[in-house]
Amino acid sequence: MMKKRSKIDKKPLLACDLSTKFTNQRVFINDQLSYNNKKLRWLAKLVGTQYGFKYTWANSSGVYMRKNDGQVGVKITTSHQLMDLDTDKKISELWM
């Protein structure tokens, strides 16, 4: 049986809450994203990891990236924006 969590609940959902076989890693559920936004978020996380973005997230209004605390998040609407961020061609195989 899964535990119900609300937005008011301060304790994050952990993998070990679902099964004792899992570690204490946080679990994020993105079941409300469209197929295109799921794919875009996946690509954004790859680009963000390669280029030092501290935050990459998605919600019902889109996919966002932010390099540092205090900066405004940039909305990512197409994979072409991510291609432009891949200046050193670190993940160029994804764009072919």
Determine the structural domain holding residue 76 and report its residue range: 32-91
- Is residue 22 one of the residues assigned to a domain? no
Q: What is the pLDDT of residue 3?
A: 56
Rounded CA separation 6/87 (Å): 40
Tell me: pLDDT of 6 over 60: no
**CA dihedral angle for residue 18, residue 21, residue 48, residue 31, rounded to 10 degrees:** -30
Into how many domains does the chain fold?
A: 1
List, edge to edge, every strand of the sheet that includes 55-59: 55-59, 62-66, 74-76
Model's pTM, two decimal places? 0.65
Rounded to a whole number, what is the largest CA-CA distance in the chain? 46
- Is residue 6 one of the residues assigned to a domain? no
Structure-block tokens of residue 92: 């160029």
- Is residue 43 one of the residues assigned to a domain? yes
- Is residue 7 one of the residues assigned to a domain? no
pLDDT 10s digits, 21-70: 888 888 776 567 888 888 899 999 999 999 999 999 988 888 999 999 99
**Phi, psi dihedrals of residue 26, rounded to the nearest 5°:** -70, 145
Q: What is the pLDDT of residue 43?
A: 92
